[in-house]
Homo-oligomer: A and B are copies of this chain.
Amino acid sequence: MLLIEDDPRVRRSLHLALQDEGYEVGEAASGAAGLHQLRAQAPDVVLLDLMLPDTDGFAVCREVRRWTDVPVIIVSARTDSHDVVAGLEAGADDYVTKPLVAKELSARIRALMRRAHQPQATDPRTLDLGDISVGVDSGVVTVGGVEVDLTRTEFRLLVELCRNEGQVVSREDLLERVWGYGYLGDGRIVDVHVHRLRVKVEADPANPHHVVTARGLGYRAVP
């Protein structure tokens, strides 16, 4: 269990309460530290505060979701329904508000673990799109067996499209999932990177067969 919370007092009391319930608790006081720890210790649950010194909690959550399906519970003082929706949309599994009741939090964690630990198909390590192969972990992309060099943004863009193979992904979704929450700017940036991506992975970039545009809707990956 990883506890991402900046207030030392809250962190401490939560730590103790959870320890009493039998959890091994790791701590992080900022979003960056949390993400770092996440990769280091691969916890089975993440408790995430929204108000962090460095990053927005929503952004942290989205970043987490880019890497793993670990259960995430947002713990926040913000009780507004909009925040709840935003948190869940960011990929969190649950959203509980302070002041916390330890027993309830614990019950929610158990309910979530129960659900999450069911046999589930692990996220495929490589995504295929016809003759394009995307190594999600390795970061290696090959087209027809030949390795191509993608930049970080191009890679994330391709992954995001492949994850929703066949479905239209809107510019807004792409901006949110590739560029991150709170990115300001028009969606034109997506076009540019789609173009750059096409140049690298499409046989004929002018007539794309894998990264196709759904005019007025977004982009879509087809095999």
Contacts and interface: CB of A to CB of B under 8 A. Distances in A.
B88 A220 contact: no
B220 A138 contact: yes
A13 interface: no
A113 to B, nearest CB: 11
Given A69-B118, A85-B104, 13 more contacts: A81-B103, A82-B103, A84-B101, A84-B107, A89-B110, A93-B111, A124-B166, A137-B167, A137-B168, A138-B167, A138-B168, A140-B166, A151-B216
Interface of A: 69, 71, 81-82, 84-85, 88-89, 92-94, 101, 103-104, 107-108, 110-112, 115-116, 118-122, 124, 135, 137-140, 151-152, 155, 166-168, 214-217, 220
5 contacts: A88-B110, A119-B120, A121-B121, A138-B166, A138-B220
